[in-house]
Structure 1
């Protein structure tokens, strides 16, 4: 390497690190709210898991929650209140059959509720995996009770077999549209409409190639349509790309759509979709070589705008482990519709090698246009339904369902890119701020059980806060929001949680409220608190686009707290940062404080070690936070620290209280204990359990005399341990040195061995067989 080149690399390295630190990819939430501060309503029932299917019944004030082998009706305002529940368990026979097919009986061979939809007659349609044999039923809620009608309906093609396989479904005009697998092995993916005429996709890799289904939505495209178009159903999924010329499998994101009035073809594509078209969905994240994979979508529409102004918000995660970025991209429905209505097709072309190459189709396109819905132009040609479509059009769409053009997001870039825990679910809520503008606030669930609250202000990514909903990291598997209650509902394997859309009370000052840049919240100058915009009739202080806190009135001065410390002692001065974006600085006697070995700066305060006289003074903790307009400084805490020397130290011992009911009671207790001890000792002396002192002196003198006599014996005495006698039942036990010749007693007399060596047994406990010996 050239010396100048190497030098330039080292010179640019600090700049690159600085850019990396300031990168929006490292953007952190302004506020991180721990689990114990969220105050979420939670629901969990012991022994039940996988609360991942939700249905909002705002007409009944219910959140219907589907879990493993159970469905719950919860109070929409407080989901910790269970109003009703119904069990839907598999039989032992079903579990055994599932086990015999090689599935886990305790995990897979159960009934996971996967489908919950409202019918037009107010009933609910519910489906479960049912031990790898999916089944559906109708459910009602009447008189505070959930009831399954036991009208078992075959769930194949409606509900997945595998409880851990991705799927999607919607109920449109009382017809169920579902995307799942048709068979036990999961090898036959299908997009299906169950009624009135059952219709599905072809089992061809060019239609669906190892897909992972994400979500579905319907669009009223017939509304005010000049072409007499039909309504559409959109499907979002990812799949292995058939058009990729690569050695390894490449996963791409897709959006497909079908026409609601599709009845299939007459001869070709009988009971198959004649309007199935799909296109690649791009979300360009930096210069990633591999496309990011779609995980969830949310359809947002302004009820006062035309359907073409609707937006699809989608979250993406990398398909390789080399990156920890997640992204949110937004797509206009009009852009998606235009690609299907006017775009070019891709066609498979055989090449000399064994694989098939997909290229843009440049030949003639049949009329009516393949994949198009029946419109006014087709009706003029006598084609009033898909059964009238010519075979040439049907064969074209059967072979070429893939569009050539990829769909790009708004402004060709993501709304939000963040490094950290992967995104899993997203919902979007519109709110009108104090400036009169409407903003779309994104609530994003993550793998760690947190929810991000984020807004994109004219291209600026801003995360207002991150809230932890569950005590342990639990992946967010479902998200719903209700404008009726102003609440968000989240489901995970562990349970369900409920939090409000607006949480303004977390801001304690005007500056904190404005710098939060939350379009839901503003500062009330009269009540002097941060409140929700919707809860106030007065004009509130708010600056969401710029975070201009200079419009706030002057804050009340912070009252200093007196603190004292001994010479050589340690002390911590607390100062929690008001936000993650704020930088804490300290002053002592109005001069910047330089940290040292004895003055250590902590994340939440200042630590004074081995204090000396020079450490006394006025300490002030300040928060410095940048917004889009300028830098704002506010005093968080102030302390007046005084140092007490050793000569002034007086250790005062508190004098014992002599009077009062507590002392008298203690004296009475002590007296009773002494009397009880004396009685216990007297009783033990009387019974002989404890020998009297003079008896102990007499006994010691006798033992001394006996020891002198024993020393006069032959010096060749061998002492052996006396064998322990077997205790006799109900015989008195005595201690002594019996010298009688009673050979039945082991231990008192001397024994002589066969060798003539005298053996003396030590005194031992003896059992008396005859009462006359006492």
Structure 2
């Protein structure tokens, strides 16, 4: 090759290298295009502070980390795995415990763990991490077991939970470190797990238990991954093999030119029938492929990181129409944006079946990842084959070196369905419900880092947050969410405990307007009962308008009962008016005239405070709520008061001493006694000259030994 040709090739590679380095910001232009389309301040219509009525709670003293849940609807049970304990809770009321069993580490296990440099009070315990149902109705359970993972079989019979004490080795199935991210799923009594293989947590792999098969320990396969979730798709109805999908994040090998490590989100896929290769990739996946996931969040200059997924499939549609609702949070500490992106299974499979592969090419003294433009072997690398042992070495060597796809998987609509500032999203569950208009809507329930639960719906591209509910008294991060079709209830777990939450909370709306403006597909206004009720609880026609929030459908509201209040001149009075909606604006009127905020009239979030009240403040007060829904504006009277003057001004000298005044006198008396005692102590110890040393200066007066004036002879 001539020098000119070499120079051109070098320049071409350098240009590709520069372009690849810049591609770490591949989603930024799209994000900028979406500035006007996606609101960042998506405010919940209603915020519900913590109250014991919000949810039914289970908590056992001394036990923490209620982070693993298994629904046993056949037994009417919710199985919960916690630290060194497992519980069988009543599915209808989780505050009622049916049974429990302890799985504690021995003193020797704790000592061995401590000798390896681990904390005896936190790390050297048995954290339950895996809890799956098997075909024989037993449950497969694994725990960290003081950094020595172990698995067992558990059964429920005659009201008791029983561990068989099988003591199966849990290495490669369950994490060693209770804080390390992992994922697992049971498919036909076969455990698929993504976790660490060793004590140090340095060898991480996607593994199937039997026949044993796993990923290569190679950075091009998995590079410092954080595993999120596993999902199985039964796709054999088309003659293809069933597949298992792994969602995770990892340090990107393709961006090693960047100054700092860049973390990216991925989805990987393996075939259930994969048996590994005969010579190449023995007991390794021959079908392992992975691709990048894009979730373009506004203002982010680095890829956002996947945290949780929920697979949603319409039972009336083909499996290719299944969706993955996915939570993303920023990898930069300077951002507080969380997002939900939705991906279709068909888009994911299209990338794996038709997309280009990435490959390493040399660039001077290093290598870069670029799109592979050469010939792809047949059978296509990564495709599901009935006999993977018969795959040619050419196909196996190709997939061993090039498991990463060049194509990026984009979310439906090319943008998130929800973006929000504040506490980070942690987990998500989606439930479909049919509203009064006959349409079906998918409601998202999102657990958050501050212990709250968001309830949100996307109405034809408009994201509407119905409510935000505080589940736990203290800000406990929601670690797991489950939904039961049988009970229609949500179940959430945190470090503190497990709670049960209804999906329909219609009783929080006390008027037809409030019920309709809530735009909750579970709820409607029953004119006969005069209450907001769940659609599933009645056969009557209910008033509901979820897409538009058209409250004009409501009958005229009943007049508000007038409250009589009186005040003393110069005093203060507060008129309460809690608003049912964060989207509404509260205004006050006095005798039909608007009350403006001033030093004396303070407009509070929950009412009106009048200071230094006078005769001019008497009158009829109305609290009004003005709320916009789509293009309409609705006004409702929330409260009404008749405020009147009471009595005449009272002079200070005519007033009786109040309790606070009497208390003040007592305090002053105690201070005087303390001062006298302090002076006497100083005289006694010689810190101050005795009072008699000043007798020459005090003519005509004498004092006794206690420093008191001597009155002389009577």
With the shorter chain as reference, the TM-score category is 0.7 to 0.9
Alignment correspondent of 2:605:
603
Summarize the Cα distance change of 1:648–1:203 in structure 2 as closer, same or farther, 3 Å threshold: closer
CA deviation after TM superposition for structure 1 residue 150, in Å: 1.2
CA distance in 2, matches of 1:539, 1:527: 12
Q: Is the 8 A contact 2:105 2:145 kept in 1?
A: yes
CA deviation after TM superposition for structure 1 residue 353, in Å: 3.0
TM-score by length of 2: 0.85
Alignment correspondent of 2:245:
234
Alignment correspondent of 1:289:
301
2:131 corresponds, among 110, 116, 128, to: 116
Alignment correspondent of 2:427:
425
Alignment correspondent of 2:152:
137
CA deviation after TM superposition for structure 1 residue 560, in Å: 1.4
Alignment correspondent of 1:337:
349
1:31 paired with 2:23, answer no
Alignment correspondent of 1:106:
121
CA distance in 2, matches of 1:481, 1:585: 40
2:371 corresponds, among 357, 360, 366, to: 360
1:577 paired with 2:591, answer no
Summarize the Cα distance change of 1:647–1:41 in structure 2 as closer, same or farther, 3 Å threshold: closer
CA distance in 1, matches of 2:647, 2:72: 70
CA deviation after TM superposition for structure 1 residue 152, in Å: 1.4
CA distance in 1, matches of 2:564, 2:496: 47
How does 1:24-103 map onto structure 2 within 5 Å?
24-36=39-51, 38-103=53-118
Alignment correspondent of 2:363:
351
Structure 1 stretches lacking a partner, 5+ long: 1-18, 375-383, 654-720, 722-774
CA distance in 1, matches of 2:45, 2:519: 10
1:394 corresponds, among 393, 396, 405, to: 396
CA distance in 1, matches of 2:222, 2:605: 52
CA distance in 2, matches of 1:132, 1:334: 40
Q: Is the 8 A contact 1:172 1:218 kept in 2?
A: yes
CA distance in 2, matches of 1:468, 1:350: 55
1:208 paired with 2:219, answer no
Alignment correspondent of 1:618:
620
1:324-380, Cα deviation, whole Å (9 max, x unpaired): 0000000000000110011100001121133x2100000000000000002xxxxxx
Summarize the Cα distance change of 1:560–1:267 in structure 2 as closer, same or farther, 3 Å threshold: same
Alignment correspondent of 1:173:
188
Alignment correspondent of 1:471:
473
CA distance in 1, matches of 2:612, 2:147: 68
Summarize the Cα distance change of 1:642–1:307 in structure 2 as closer, same or farther, 3 Å threshold: same
CA distance in 2, matches of 1:57, 1:441: 23
Summarize the Cα distance change of 1:21–1:28 in structure 2 as closer, same or farther, 3 Å threshold: farther
Q: Is the 8 A contact 1:86 1:146 kept in 2?
A: yes
How does 1:462-611 map onto structure 2 within 5 Å?
462-611=464-613
Alignment correspondent of 2:443:
441
SS of aligned partner of 1:243: helix
Alignment correspondent of 2:460:
458
1:276 paired with 2:278, answer no
CA distance in 2, matches of 1:131, 1:600: 58
Q: Is the 8 A contact 1:125 1:137 kept in 2?
A: yes
Q: Is the 8 A contact 1:98 1:105 kept in 2?
A: yes
CA deviation after TM superposition for structure 1 residue 612, in Å: 1.3
Q: Is the 8 A contact 2:35 2:298 kept in 1?
A: no
CA deviation after TM superposition for structure 1 residue 609, in Å: 1.2
CA distance in 2, matches of 1:21, 1:531: 37
1:415 paired with 2:417, answer yes
CA deviation after TM superposition for structure 1 residue 559, in Å: 2.1
SS of aligned partner of 1:395: helix
1:148 corresponds, among 163, 171, 174, to: 163
CA distance in 2, matches of 1:483, 1:347: 46
1:662-712, Cα deviation, whole Å (9 max, x unpaired): xxxxxxxxxxxxxxxxxxxxxxxxxxxxxxxxxxxxxxxxxxxxxxxxxxx
Q: Is the 8 A contact 2:512 2:525 kept in 1?
A: yes
Q: Is the 8 A contact 1:298 1:312 kept in 2?
A: yes
SS of aligned partner of 1:25: coil
CA deviation after TM superposition for structure 1 residue 645, in Å: 4.8
Summarize the Cα distance change of 1:212–1:445 in structure 2 as closer, same or farther, 3 Å threshold: same
SS of aligned partner of 1:338: helix
CA deviation after TM superposition for structure 1 residue 304, in Å: 1.0
1:710-741, Cα deviation, whole Å (9 max, x unpaired): xxxxxxxxxxx9xxxxxxxxxxxxxxxxxxxx
CA deviation after TM superposition for structure 1 residue 558, in Å: 1.1
CA distance in 2, matches of 1:287, 1:106: 41
Q: Is the 8 A contact 1:329 1:415 kept in 2?
A: yes
Q: Is the 8 A contact 1:575 1:604 kept in 2?
A: yes
SS of aligned partner of 1:596: coil
1:452-480, Cα deviation, whole Å (9 max, x unpaired): 00111111111100011110000111110
RMSD: 1.8
Q: Is the 8 A contact 2:231 2:244 kept in 1?
A: yes
SS of aligned partner of 2:51: helix
CA distance in 2, matches of 1:473, 1:406: 36
1:312 corresponds, among 299, 310, 324, to: 324
Alignment correspondent of 2:9:
none
CA distance in 2, matches of 1:280, 1:647: 76
CA distance in 1, matches of 2:505, 2:155: 35
1:190 paired with 2:205, answer yes
CA distance in 2, matches of 1:148, 1:209: 36
CA deviation after TM superposition for structure 1 residue 23, in Å: 7.3
CA deviation after TM superposition for structure 1 residue 21, in Å: 13
Q: Is the 8 A contact 2:87 2:101 kept in 1?
A: yes
CA deviation after TM superposition for structure 1 residue 38, in Å: 4.3
Summarize the Cα distance change of 1:598–1:21 in structure 2 as closer, same or farther, 3 Å threshold: farther
SS of aligned partner of 2:153: strand
User: Which moves more between the two structures, 455-464 or 274-283?
Assistant: 455-464
CA distance in 1, matches of 2:314, 2:344: 12
Summarize the Cα distance change of 1:632–1:404 in structure 2 as closer, same or farther, 3 Å threshold: same
CA distance in 1, matches of 2:340, 2:147: 34
Summarize the Cα distance change of 1:549–1:359 in structure 2 as closer, same or farther, 3 Å threshold: same
Larger radius of gyration: 1
CA deviation after TM superposition for structure 1 residue 647, in Å: 6.9
Summarize the Cα distance change of 1:432–1:218 in structure 2 as closer, same or farther, 3 Å threshold: same
CA distance in 1, matches of 2:631, 2:600: 37
CA deviation after TM superposition for structure 1 residue 597, in Å: 1.6
Using CA pairs below 8 Å that are at least 6 residues apart, which structure has the higher relative contact order?
2
Q: Is the 8 A contact 2:569 2:649 kept in 1?
A: no
SS of aligned partner of 1:405: strand
Summarize the Cα distance change of 1:262–1:23 in structure 2 as closer, same or farther, 3 Å threshold: closer
CA distance in 2, matches of 1:578, 1:538: 26
Q: Is the 8 A contact 2:54 2:469 kept in 1?
A: no
